[in-house]
């Protein structure tokens, strides 16, 4: 908690570390109130250093003793200020011995060493290690770690750290010890320990080179019935990385440990991944299809970091996307490969596009806009963003789009050949891709340095006499904070041409056969491409498979979109055409709904649109998962993003109207699909079954958007009879949203049944928080529920963040009460856990877009938070930027 002005750190100010650390020996005497940490470091002067002294970071820890080459140092031998311990003069080779104290049970930030449910865990990325001991806590200092853990044996029977277990045994007084050694050099942010009462599911797994590795999933007693899927996902991930990239597990054992108190999803500590329980625990009774998907993706993501992140790490935190963008891309490809089918891949791609539009494009257009490789930050934890992760993954994907899967693999091989066990920059990855493919990628660097979402436009002209189709592409990029002017990007634009019957034309560009999808490389602000041999007027399908993270504007007529929606062979663009048709209508209806109070009664939807949706809905040749994607409307916040001045109520009325109208006018088809997509027999989370459930439950939701007795009865029956959480939760949500009296009973039954399953209780809170039927008074009432606490991040998010972020119509209540609530909760959370508070703070990012009456109240709330004397750097940076930009 700081009261002074936070300091901005710039990428351009990077200097190499003055000393390198070769070995670290850590000794922990674990005690919740008073843990003693003894550290012995061997350091040597860095030949590349530009500064002289030894600099060690330390935060919220007490220094007990400090020895340099055996000699006890006194206060005059070093300075300790602003969390930096500096020893100004030291010989080239140094052994430092440091003894410190910390209080894990007081640590509510969940960064560093902390206690959760009586067990010890650590979280060190990005700068948590300095909360454990003094150390050059920066990713370009890589050292070999040996760790001795000592703790009470009865209370903490399990003692884990990175790497391999060398020795364990008993001590006096009921204590025991374990000695761990990590054979690989690593930066401090990958250190971890766990001392706990846990049980594990374990298995020996044969690696590609014939070695056997021990795999373990550690959870609290009583949860062993929920670890199968995580274990299975881990084995699939190991196999996939071997086969796809030739990357093997480099340790004898690999451990996953679940904790219920965790700031984010999971953490890739070397050999000892620590996970939020949300991404480990699952069985059909308590977890939904989405939960199963999340577990598979996050287990894979953390495992893949072992190479992209751990073996090759980041030089400094500005390079975060080097590991995150690449690893997200890898987990996305893994998910797609696990499904295997072409439409399955497309459905996962559609999910990625949705995330970009829902979260990344708004970030790129708001006060926190930053390049994939930021130039500055106040608090690095604020930059674990959708831009660094998801846009970063898009940037990596573009290499694969440009060079193909084989070219991409060559680039990856060269990257590892050059940089294994190094801490490098985003530029090093780009150079490896360029060199392996003999391409110049200088302009491509702008994807890393320029913030903002490029806007792509196109104009097509068919020349009947010449039989040519001339496609002109235009790009521009709006200004973002600190970057008024942008230069053109290198954009791969995948294009197909559909004939009048909807079939793909064979493409010839510049005299070259290009199959049915050509990847055009747009590098100028405006560029023209000529397709020859075009015998009829085509409809262009532009940006197939979402080949670049851009906003494609205009260019289509309604007739073009209907043609693409019926025929495009590229499923992503087929879906996209439907989204555009829907968005046009939602925007028009929003305008009408906002015009006057009873405009809502006169809204209507054209038959053409309904008919187009009807055709997709009943097309049995299409996967249910794909049909569900096509029938899902853009969210309220996506609609809001399209508006210069947002009236959340009008957006809500318009979208609810469309949902209800679809429910009424497609009633028979929805009912038929509801029946046809039942999944009898034992539950399985596979993609085909999940797709059926998704379509079935979408049908149920639409039917209940204009609820009649029969639809409500259907939801009630499903709630009563379902044997899996996907169907139960969907039925309960439908009842809650339908505002029927049955909802209260169902909520009570649900809570009663699952009150001992924390993750399901989170769902119970979330379901209510995001329902447009839940107002602020109801949220406040839920906060007094005995199961509610701000101290647990999952719980705080399930109610408070859900309401502020995902319940726009209630959050933006005209009296500003939602904003006052937001300010109150940000302040309360900040005192406990700045990282969680800071995420919530971002709910106000887009305040300048709202109708004036709301805007001023939002600003007041922001000012209230900014005016707090005691505020973390995390929150101060967010609200400061929101008010300034």
**Which entry of ligand B3K, Zn ion, none binds 384, CB below 5 to 8 A by partner kind?**
ligand B3K
3-state helix, strand, coil split of the chain in percent (to 5) is: 45, 20, 35
CB of residue 267 to Zn ion, shortest distance in Å: 8
Alpha-carbon distance of 141 to 165, in angstroms, equals 24
Q: What is the number of H-type helices and E-type strands within the chain?
A: 29, 34
Note whether 684 and 676 are within 8 A (CB). Answer: no
Give the length of the chain.
885
CB of 304 to Zn ion, least distance (A): 8
Exposed e or buried b for every residue in 832-864, given b needs 16+ CB within 10 A? bbbbbbbbbbbbbbbbebbbeebeebbbebbeb
Q: Which is nearer to Zn ion, 325 or 362 (CB)?
A: 325
Nearer to ligand B3K, 318 or 819 (CB): 318
Half-sphere exposure of 691 (CA within 13 A, CB side): 20
Cβ neighbourhood burial of 227 (10 Å; 0-12, 13-18, 19+): buried
Minimum CB separation of residue 189 from Zn ion in Å reads: 12
Rg (C-alpha) for the chain, rounded Å, is 28
User: 673 contacts which partner out of ligand B3K, Zn ion, none, CB within 5 to 8 A by kind?
Assistant: none
Nearer to Zn ion (CB atom), residue 324 or residue 874: 324
Q: Return the one option of ligand B3K, Zn ion, none that residue 359 interacts with (CB less than 5 to 8 A, by type).
A: none
Among candidate residues 220, 302, 636, 877, the one labeled active-site is 302
The CB-of-300 to ligand B3K minimum distance in angstroms stands at 10
Residue 662 partner contact from ligand B3K, Zn ion, none using kind-dependent CB cut-offs of 5 to 8 Å: none
Closer to Zn ion by CB, 276 or 327: give it.
327
- Considering beta carbons, is residue 350 or 393 the nearer one to Zn ion? 393
Residue 88, preceding peptide bond in cis (omega within 30° of 0): no
Write down the least CB distance from residue 102 to ligand B3K, Å: 19
Say whether 115 sits in a helix, a strand or coil: strand
Which entry of ligand B3K, Zn ion, none binds 125, CB below 5 to 8 A by partner kind? Answer: ligand B3K
Binding site for ligand B3K (CB under 6 A): 125-126, 264, 266-268, 301-302, 305, 324, 381, 384
Rounded CA gap, 21 and 37, in Å?
18
Minimal distance in Å, beta carbon 61 to ligand B3K? 19
Asked if residue 421 lies in contact with residue 438, where contact means CB atoms within 8 angstroms, the answer is no
If one counts every other C-beta atom within 10 angstroms of the C-beta of residue 70, the result is 7
Closer residue to Zn ion in complex, CB, 324/830: 324
Q: Do 271 and 182 contact (CB within 8 A), yes or no? A: yes
Active site residue 302: yes
First-to-final CA distance of the chain:
24
Which string of DSSP letters, residue by residue, matches 401-438? Answer: HHHHHHHHHHHHHHHHHHHTT-EE-HHHHHHHHHHHTT
Cα–Cα dist 482/857, whole Å: 26
Q: In this complex, which beta carbon is closest to Zn ion, that of residue 394 or of residue 628?
A: 394
User: Parallel, antiparallel, or unpaired for β 539-542 and 491-498?
Assistant: antiparallel
DSSP state of 626: H
Shortest Å, Cβ 267 to ligand B3K: 5
User: Token pair of 511, please?
Assistant: 């005299």
Q: Which residue is nearest to ligand B3K (CB)?
A: 125
Nearer to ligand B3K among residue 329 and residue 489 (C-beta): 329
Judged by beta carbon distances under 5 to 8 A according to partner kind, the member of Zn ion, ligand B3K, none in contact with residue 388 is none
Binding partner at 697 among ligand B3K, Zn ion, none, C-beta below 5 to 8 Å by kind:
none
Smallest distance from the beta carbon of 305 to Zn ion, in angstroms?
6
Are the beta carbons of 303 and 267 closer than 8 angstroms? Answer: no
For 246-328, where are the E strands, in sequence order?
253-259, 266-267, 272-276, 313-314
DSSP H/E element including 25: strand 19-29
Contact partner at residue 315 from Zn ion, ligand B3K, none, CB < 5 to 8 Å by partner kind: none
**Number of residues in contact with Zn ion under rule CB under 5 A:** 2
Q: Looking at 543-670, which runs of residues are DSSP E strands? A: 551-553
Distance, CA of 179 to CA of 162 (rounded, Å): 10
| The pair of three-digit structure tokens given for residue 693, joined into one six-digit string | 């459930």
Residue 66, classed as helix, strand or coil, is strand
CB 517 within 8 A of CB 495: yes
Give me the least distance between CB of 262 and ligand B3K, in Å please: 10
Helix locations, 704-816, DSSP H: 709-721, 725-737, 742-754, 758-769, 776-783, 793-796, 802-806, 808-811
- 850 and 819 in contact (C-beta within 8 Å)? no
From the list Zn ion, ligand B3K, none, which binds 381 (C-beta under 5 to 8 Å, kind-based)? ligand B3K
Q: Measuring CA to CA, how many Å separate 695 from each of 186, 312, 549?
A: 46, 42, 28
Could you tell me which of 90, 115, 117 has the C-alpha nearest to residue 105? 115
Which of Zn ion, ligand B3K, none sits in contact with 264, Cβ below 5 to 8 A by type?
Answer: ligand B3K
Nearer to Zn ion among residue 301 and residue 585 (C-beta): 301
Interacting positions 316-375 with Zn ion (CB under 5 A): 324, 327
Least CB distance from residue 370 to ligand B3K, whole Å? Answer: 16
Is the distance from CB of 8 to CB of 377 less than 8 angstroms? yes
If the CB atoms of residues 275 and 626 are measured against ligand B3K, the closer one turns out to be: 275
Is the CB of 133 or the CB of 276 nearer to ligand B3K?
276
Q: Compute the least distance from the CB of residue 193 to ligand B3K, in Å.
A: 17
- Interface residues with Zn ion (CB under 5 A)? 324, 327
Q: Which residues are catalytic?
A: 302
């Amino acid at each position: 908690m700081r009261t002074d002005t936070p300091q901005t750190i710039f990428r351009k100010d990077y200097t190499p570390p003055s000393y390198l650390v070769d070995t670290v020996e850590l000794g922990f005497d674990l005690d919740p109130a008073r843990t003693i940490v003894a550290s012995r470091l061997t350091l040597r002067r860095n030949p590349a250093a530009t500064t002289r002294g030894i600099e060690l970071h330390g935060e919220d820890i007490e220094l007990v003793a400090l020895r340099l080459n055996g000699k006890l140092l006194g206060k005059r031998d070093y300075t300790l200020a602003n969390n930096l311990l500096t020893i100004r003069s030291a010989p080239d080779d140094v052994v430092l011995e440091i003894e410190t104290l910390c209080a894990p049970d007081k640590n509510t930030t969940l960064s560093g060493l902390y206690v959760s449910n009586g067990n010890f865990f650590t979280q060190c990325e990005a700068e948590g290690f300095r909360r454990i001991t003094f150390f050059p806590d920066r990713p370009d200092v890589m050292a070999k770690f040996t760790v001795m853990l000592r703790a009470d044996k009865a209370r903490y029977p399990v003692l884990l750290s990175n790497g391999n277990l060398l020795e364990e045994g008993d001590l006096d007084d009921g204590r025991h010890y374990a000695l761990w050694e990590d054979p690989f050099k690593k930066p401090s942010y990958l250190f971890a320990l766990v001392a706990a009462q846990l049980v594990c599911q374990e298995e020996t797994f044969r690696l590609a080179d014939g070695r056997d590795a021990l795999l373990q999933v550690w959870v609290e007693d009583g949860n062993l019935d929920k670890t199968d899927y995580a274990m299975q996902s881990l084995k699939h991930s190991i196999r996939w990385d071997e086969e796809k990239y030739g990357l093997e597990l480099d340790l004898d054992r690999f451990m996953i440990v679940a904790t219920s108190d965790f700031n984010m999803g999971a953490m890739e500590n070397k050999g000892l991944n620590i996970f939020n329980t949300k991404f480990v625990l699952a069985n059909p009774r308590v977890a939904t299809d989405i939960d199963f998907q999340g577990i598979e993706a996050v287990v894979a993501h953390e495992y893949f970091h072992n190479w992209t992140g751990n073996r090759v790490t980041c030089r400094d935190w500005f390079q975060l996307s080097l590991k995150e963008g690449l690893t997200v891309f890898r987990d996305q490809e893994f998910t797609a490969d696990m499904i295997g089918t072409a439409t399955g891949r497309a459905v996962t791609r559609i999910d990625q596009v949705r995330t970009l539009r829902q979260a990344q494009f708004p970030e790129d257009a708001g006060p926190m806009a930053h390049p994939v490789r930021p130039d500055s930050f106040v608090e690095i934890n604020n930059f674990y963003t959708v831009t660094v992760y998801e846009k970063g993954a898009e940037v990596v994907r573009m290499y694969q789009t440009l060079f193909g899967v084989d070219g991409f693999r060559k680039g990856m091989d060269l990257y590892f050949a050059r940089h294994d066990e190094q801490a490098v920059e985003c530029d090093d990855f780009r150079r490896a891709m360029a060199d392996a493919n003999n391409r110049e990628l200088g302009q491509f660097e702008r994807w890393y340095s320029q913030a903002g979402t490029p806007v792509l436009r196109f104009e097509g002209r068919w020349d009947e006499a010449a039989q040519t189709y001339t496609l002109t592409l235009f790009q521009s990029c709006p200004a973002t904070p600190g970057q008024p002017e942008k230069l053109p990007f290198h954009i791969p634009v995948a294009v197909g041409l559909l004939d009048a019957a909807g079939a793909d034309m064979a493409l010839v560009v510049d005299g070259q056969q290009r199959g049915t999808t050509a990847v055009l490389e747009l590098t100028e602000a405006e560029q023209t491409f000529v397709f020859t041999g075009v015998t009829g007027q085509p409809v262009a399908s532009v940006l197939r498979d979402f080949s670049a993270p851009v906003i494609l504007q205009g260019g289509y007529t309604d007739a073009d979109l209907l043609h693409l929606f019926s025929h495009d062979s590229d499923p992503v663009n087929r879906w996209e055409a439907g989204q555009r048709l829907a968005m046009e209508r939602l925007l028009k209806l929003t305008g009408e709904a906002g015009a006057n109070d009873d405009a809502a009664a006169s809204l209507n939807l054209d038959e053409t649109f309904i008919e187009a949706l009807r055709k997709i809905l009943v097309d049995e040749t299409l996967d249910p998962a794909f049909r569900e994607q096509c029938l899902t409307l853009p969210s309220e916040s996506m609609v809001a993003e399209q508006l210069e001045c947002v009236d959340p109520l009008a957006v809500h009325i318009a979208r609810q109207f469309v949902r209800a109208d679809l429910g009424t006018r497609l009633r028979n088809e929805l009912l038929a699909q509801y029946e046809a997509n039942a999944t009898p027999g034992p539950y399985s989370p596979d993609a085909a079954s999940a797709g059926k459930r998704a379509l079935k439950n979408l049908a149920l939701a639409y039917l209940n958007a204009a609820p009649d007795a029969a639809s409500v009865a259907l939801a009630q029956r499903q709630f009563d009879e379902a044997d899996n959480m996907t169907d139960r939760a969907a039925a309960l949500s439908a009842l809650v949203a339908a505002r029927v009296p049955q909802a209260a009973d169902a909520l009570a039954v649900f809570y009663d049944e699952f009150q001992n399953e924390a993750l399901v209780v989170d769902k119970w809170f979330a379901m209510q928080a995001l329902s447009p039927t839940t107002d602020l008074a109801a949220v406040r009432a839920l906060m007094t529920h005995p199961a509610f606490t701000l101290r647990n991040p999952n719980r705080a998010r399930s109610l408070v963040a859900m309401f502020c972020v995902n319940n726009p119509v209630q959050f933006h209540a005209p009296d500003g009460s939602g904003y006052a609530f937001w300010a109150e909760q940000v302040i309360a959370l900040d005192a406990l856990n700045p990282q969680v508070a800071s995420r919530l703070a971002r709910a106000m990012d887009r305040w300048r877009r709202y109708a004036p009456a709301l805007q001023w109240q939002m600003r007041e709330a922001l000012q209230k938070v900014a005016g707090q004397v005691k505020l973390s750097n995390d929150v101060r940076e967010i609200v400061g930027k929101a008010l300034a930009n």
